[in-house]
Structure 1
Amino acid sequence: MLAIALGALLLRLSQALPLNSPLLHEYDYIVVGGGVAGLTVASRLSQDPDVTVLLLEAGPADNHELFVEVPGMIGDGIGSIYDWNLSTVPQTALDGAPRSVPQGFGLGGSSLINGMLWNRGSIGDYDDFVSLGNPGWSWDDMMPYFQRSENYHRVASLELAMNFSIEANMSVHGTSGPVNVSFAHWFWGTSAVLFDALNELGVPTAYDPNMGQIAGASFLPLSLDPVTATRSTARRAYYDPVADRPNLWVSTGQHATQIFFQGMDANDNATVMTSQDNPLGQGISSAPDIPGIFGGTSTLDVSHSGQAPTTLISRTLGSLLHWFRRATRRGLSPRQTNEAEPMVPARLRAVGVEYAANSRRPRQTVNATREVIIAAGAFHSPQLLMLSGIGPADVLQENNIPVNMDLPGVGSNLHDHGQVWTWYPYNNSAFSTPLEFINDSAFAEDAWTDYWANRTGPLTSGAFDGVAFPALAFISNGSTVIPDTALSQTASQYLANGTHSSVLLGYARQLELLTTALADPTRASYEIVNSNTGALTVANMRPLSRGSVTINSSLPFDSPVIDPRYSSNPIDAQVLLAAIRFNERLIATESLSQLHPIHMYPPPHATDAEVLQWINTHMQTEYHPVGTCAMMPYQLGGVVSPELLVYGTSNLRVVDSSIIPILPAAHLQAVVYGIAEKAADIIKAANTRPPIPTSFSFSYDPLPATSSASPTATENGEAAVVTHFVTVVATQTVYV
């Protein structure tokens, strides 16, 4: 028996596909994007040995860097080679400055650089999904998929559970999923004091925040391996354990440039090589004064001119080649329509994906017989759709892209949990805080010793653990002024000029739901992000402001144009003003006073106008952008159906945070894992029929197999990445 088992293992290993193996010309499924959603879907689809799955990821595979794996180094990944290094356009409703918007760039996506916090939101958040036209997406519908993704581990001891108000209702947790979810081997005592202060002011405690009742203090678990005390990334959870599957190809360093549709025109400019390029396809600095992620300055990419930043070369040769390809594609089949859906006249079939390592490399094409799944995130998924001829017709025409499907909602409905840093440093030396990493070299040295020797100590934890999601009623003494003001608004009042009528209709429905949530004493209106140092950052969980993602050229290696329009709806600032005033009450409580907080920023005795000015200059992302490929009806500005099919297509889906129609009061990684688990089941159920062979094929010299190692200074012309330890404490940003 042992010999048989050993033989089977050797056979499996002999059939395994190393990362970046040479690719086939055709796959059943092609997944674009190797983050949380993409890896989940690819892993689940490849469970069927009779199908082939290709995943294309633009970024590199990580090399187990400390800033990726050590929880205490949360924040160090920002601005690294695993960050797209994107930024917004100037935020005119704030102080006129752009904002950085970190996004994961690598195998594992944002799970490589996020704050590791794990929660799902409330039952009502998913009822809102259903109310927006998405049957099958309620809390109860999602629960099996939340559980399927997680391997939940209880807190280490009853004493810790009692001291930090942690309970586990195991009926809502999974114990055999790929993602390790657990608690750190170190607890900052200041979190328990904060919970006492919140209770003192009437804010209750949500003992298990993943039960769906979260309007209160919440000690959140982390995406953390409890044995190794390392980050549990999407790569570690969904790829590494199945990397030996012979039917799963994963190729890193490959940027999808467009999707091809049977019988339809292609974006020829996407195919032409250009002379200028960042080798990683990431943002390049053009705005040195953008506020940085740690309160300084940052060199992030943002285009102010609206002009394409790159120049074209070899246009004659490229145009001839792609004229031929375009003509070939036109001859495949006549344009199809779907008479059963008069509001969605075109019926497109995705037949392949074009990709390249960077803009200077020849484009490659790979065919799909079943489906193409876009999982490129809230910024790049709408960009890829537009580059492929699906999006607002006026935007496509302005950029000389063939209009394969006029879909006005693509790129609309962008919203995010805008956050504002506040600072009340604790000065009671009896309580340890993360500041000791900076102020006490012996503390830092002991922490590293504990970590390497026993996987214990403060490096097993980030600075953030005990947080709160209060309802507006708790912090405003039951006042309904803010929700009443929201109720009096019209849908078009604070949206951008020229917003499409269907998007207006969709937002009108969202506005009703948001107003109801703001008035509900059982639902969170904002978050207190506690750094255990005295930074009590506040983040708006029910933003009313809406922005957009668009393109300013037809070139795929240009960065998307990102405009969240933070605080364009004044209700958002009013919620944060109320939250900051509540902070002032918190630090004055008997409980929190024992930490000896000092009221620093916003300054003490600031008027409402001065606090609002502080909000305008300090608001930035909480790293939770959603909505740009919204799962809503087409007539309401939606982009995908409840089955996540892009309207007007038969086999193109979007699976990532961009499909979330309205933000839940949660950090998003657990939410997106659940969405992707559900999507995998939807895709499997829809593909019980034999695959349809593609009717076209192009012959290219294949790209050489690439290394899974991260780029070095000699490869990309940049300084080598130096791994170092930084604790985020008294900064103007909190990374969550």
Structure 2
Amino acid sequence: MSAQPFETAEKLENAAKSAVANIKDVASQEFDYVVVGGGTAGLTLAARLAEDPNVTVAVLEAGGEMHIHDSIIMPAQYGREHGNPTLVYPHQTLSQKALGRPLDWQRGRGLGGTSAINFLVFQKPQVVDIDAWEKLGSPGWNWERYNAAVKRVETFHPPTENPDGYHKYKLDSFGHKGPIHHSYPKEVSGGEAQLKQACANIGVIATPDPASGDIRGYGTFPNSVDPRTYTRSFAATGFFVNAPHRPNLKVLINATGRKVLMREPAGGSEAEAEGVEFEHEGTVYTVKAKRDVILSAGAIRSCSLLELSGIGNKEILEPLGIKTIVHNPAVGENVQEHMLNAVVWETKKEEYGFETLDLLMDPATAGKHIELYKQGSGLFTRQINSLIWLPLSEITTTPGRYEEMVAAEEAKIAADLADPAKNRPGLKEQYELMMETVKNPKAVNGEIACTAFCFPSPNGQPEPGKTYISLIGALNLPFSRGYIHIKSADPNVPADMDPNVFDHDMDLDIIVEMHKWSRKVAATSPFKDIIVKELAPGPSVNTDDEWRAFVKANTGTTWHTVGSCTMAPRDKGGVVDPSLKVYGTKNLRVCDISIIPLHISAHTQATAYSIGEQLAEIIKAEAK
């Protein structure tokens, strides 16, 4: 099959030119729905609402057109645009107490949001993670509805080549008519087959149906790549550029939401969102909403917009000169983040004949693989597919260590709940569900992702011409809680962002145990047979304290931030109700992963789509 990715990007740009709105189409106009943020969930929601020709929808997106960049459209260029302020928000957290340094907290800036810059894994979590949302007080937010929503979004393309049944899946677990395409690469990355067999040799099962909600074991997960063109399939391509043109949908780019225009409650009524104030090319405008304003600006920005609009903790707002419209101390709290860190090995390139993405550092090799990519093969078609999900009881490698970690965390939880500075409504219920997961031998508690390239860290940088493989230990169910709060009434001033990582030792120690487990599998044939040496952290790191120091020095986040606009009962720390309506308001909603009350064992892309899809169904049902 022939694919011309650069021609594809040009065609996408031309298709979008007639679809993007002008400022006069939006400024001072009135729409039924105004969506602030044209990212993963926001474009999904807007496109679904606009399917009704009798309603009008405006989308305000602060960034530009992501789909016109080859570095976005062409897969396997992980992180190439990270740090580019045109395409990402280069956020940084406050200095982390446990680390002594801040963390990069970047987000996609443009149509499609972070679905344009992520690492392309399209994955659903385990059932218990989603059912926990309903157990925390949000009826209808359960696995059954979640799974149906994801299926409406996706079109799964089974692999045309699958030697020895390497990729295991069941067609019934996927959707086949949605606008977001995902697939498996034709070629398995170097070293992954050996890793899979080594895992089997130490008793790790092969996940038979990774999209079923049971992800335990060694699974291969599809990527959001359209195999017909070998290009990234993301919110901008699926729900805007390649979607039917709808004159009732106006998408304005380079339009940054500043605040929601709120009518104060009177006589016991709820506050009403009348419209949005936004900035476009240096000028401030407004747009009106007849029905709803929906914030879909992501976990960092949606809660900040609420505070800028007078919704939040009055003790934070009033010193900044912002009048409190709705007092809710939960806004910007309950922030949770996935943390990661990697162990890296140099591999035997010549003996085993496989190539890894590290070789693309050489311009001549990169040029060769660009030509191969145009034919649908080569390194630029390789993806991150192999993910190992294990219960904590299987991750720990030392007898008694699992029981020791559980006991220590239970003591830490008890101390936090007894501390007025840390306890808050809803936290007890969250921790109870989390400990149920930790103690469930069939529920996963950590992810080890295989990447056929050197995951860079200060401890180890790739050398030209050499090949590497990394096992990334990712914390998925963090016990630590942080916050995001504005520090100025000026919407251009970044908020204070503190995920408070590793406030619970359990979070740090889970990553340590995953690294120790990774060394165990690296000492097992046939995986050990492809290894030259351990690059990072190297053989000098052995004790738990040495591992902790390595993780602290090298850890980063996955930018899977959730919780800042938590969906839960108001008296349990909720910001939005099950219809994603902000408490104390008549018609203001939030639609992004900030509403997630308790984190999930998954990459968050599919879940962001599902939230947009589910809110569209809720709003349509209410309008009947």
What TM-score, normalized to structure 2?
0.90
Matches within 5 A, 1:159-170: 159=163, 162-164=164-166, 166-170=167-171
The answer on whether the counterparts of 1:42 and 1:55 sit within 8 Å (CA) in structure 2 is yes
Task: Find the partner of 1:83 among 83, 88, 91.
Answer: 88
Deviations 1:38-62 (A, max 9, x none): 0000000000000100000001112
What's the counterpart of residue 26 of structure 1? 30
Task: Find the partner of 2:373 among 432, 438, 451.
Answer: 451
> 1:484 & 1:615 partners in 2: Cα distance?
22
Farther off after superposition, 585-594 or 46-55: 585-594
What secondary structure does 1:513 align onto?
A: helix
Deviations 1:57-76 (A, max 9, x none): 00111252221011121211
Report the AA paired with residue 545 of structure 2.
A
Pick closer, same or farther for the CA change 1:420–1:67 going to 2, 3 Å.
same
Structure 2 stretches of 5 or more lacking a match?
Answer: 1-14, 453-467
Does 2:496 align with 1:561? yes
What's the counterpart of residue 327 of structure 1? none
> 1:89 & 1:436 partners in 2: Cα distance?
32
The answer on whether the counterparts of 1:126 and 1:138 sit within 8 Å (CA) in structure 2 is yes
The answer on whether the counterparts of 1:541 and 1:664 sit within 8 Å (CA) in structure 2 is yes
Matches within 5 A, 1:319-338: 335-337=266-268
Structure 1 stretches of 5 or more lacking a match?
Answer: 1-12, 265-333, 339-346, 689-736
Matches within 5 A, 1:654-669: 654-669=590-605
User: What is the Cα deviation at residue 441 of structure 1?
Assistant: 5.7
The answer on whether the counterparts of 1:150 and 1:173 sit within 8 Å (CA) in structure 2 is yes
What's the counterpart of residue 537 of structure 1? 472
What secondary structure does 1:209 align onto?
A: coil
Task: Find the partner of 2:44 among 25, 35, 40.
Answer: 40
Matches within 5 A, 1:511-660: 511-532=431-452, 533-606=468-541, 607-660=543-596
Matches within 5 A, 1:174-213: 174-213=175-214
> 1:650 & 1:120 partners in 2: Cα distance?
32
Pick closer, same or farther for the CA change 1:175–1:18 going to 2, 3 Å.
same
What's the counterpart of residue 324 of structure 2? 403
Deviations 1:441-484 (A, max 9, x none): 654333111112x122221123x221211211212258332223
Farther off after superposition, 588-597 or 648-657: 588-597
Deviations 1:76-122 (A, max 9, x none): 1211221001110101112x111101100001100111000010100
> 1:595 & 1:119 partners in 2: Cα distance?
29
User: What is the Cα deviation at residue 435 of structure 1?
Assistant: 4.6
User: What is the Cα deviation at residue 495 of structure 1?
Assistant: 10
Matches within 5 A, 1:103-122: 103-122=107-126
Identity fraction in percent: 32
The answer on whether the counterparts of 1:447 and 1:459 sit within 8 Å (CA) in structure 2 is yes
Pick closer, same or farther for the CA change 1:20–1:218 going to 2, 3 Å.
farther
What secondary structure does 1:505 align onto?
A: coil
What's the counterpart of residue 275 of structure 1? none
> 1:592 & 1:517 partners in 2: Cα distance?
30
Does 2:422 align with 1:510? no
Report the AA paired with residue 511 of structure 1.
Y
Report the AA paired with residue 426 of structure 2.
G
What's the counterpart of residue 226 of structure 1? 227
Report the AA paired with residue 108 of structure 2.
G
What secondary structure does 1:167 align onto?
A: coil
> 1:497 & 1:190 partners in 2: Cα distance?
50
The answer on whether the counterparts of 2:67 and 2:73 sit within 8 Å (CA) in structure 1 is no
User: What is the Cα deviation at residue 392 of structure 1?
Assistant: 1.0
Task: Find the partner of 2:64 among 52, 60, 64.
Answer: 60
The answer on whether the counterparts of 2:40 and 2:608 sit within 8 Å (CA) in structure 1 is yes
The answer on whether the counterparts of 1:197 and 1:590 sit within 8 Å (CA) in structure 2 is yes
The answer on whether the counterparts of 1:183 and 1:221 sit within 8 Å (CA) in structure 2 is yes
What's the counterpart of residue 462 of structure 2? none
Deviations 1:476-524 (A, max 9, x none): 258332223222333662999745x6xx231111111111112222122
Does 2:333 align with 1:412? yes
Farther off after superposition, 18-27 or 488-497: 488-497
The answer on whether the counterparts of 1:18 and 1:244 sit within 8 Å (CA) in structure 2 is no
Counting matched residue pairs gives 585
Pick closer, same or farther for the CA change 1:648–1:396 going to 2, 3 Å.
same
What secondary structure does 2:354 align onto?
A: coil
The answer on whether the counterparts of 1:629 and 1:654 sit within 8 Å (CA) in structure 2 is yes
Report the AA paired with residue 619 of structure 1.
T
What's the counterpart of residue 287 of structure 1? none
Report the AA paired with residue 509 of structure 2.
Q
The answer on whether the counterparts of 1:350 and 1:372 sit within 8 Å (CA) in structure 2 is yes
Farther off after superposition, 468-477 or 26-35: 468-477
> 1:497 & 1:399 partners in 2: Cα distance?
25
Farther off after superposition, 394-403 or 71-80: 71-80
The answer on whether the counterparts of 2:169 and 2:210 sit within 8 Å (CA) in structure 1 is no
Deviations 1:500-556 (A, max 9, x none): x6xx23111111111111222212211112112321111111111111101110100
> 2:189 & 2:418 partners in 1: Cα distance?
42
What secondary structure does 2:25 align onto?
A: coil
What's the counterpart of residue 6 of structure 2? none
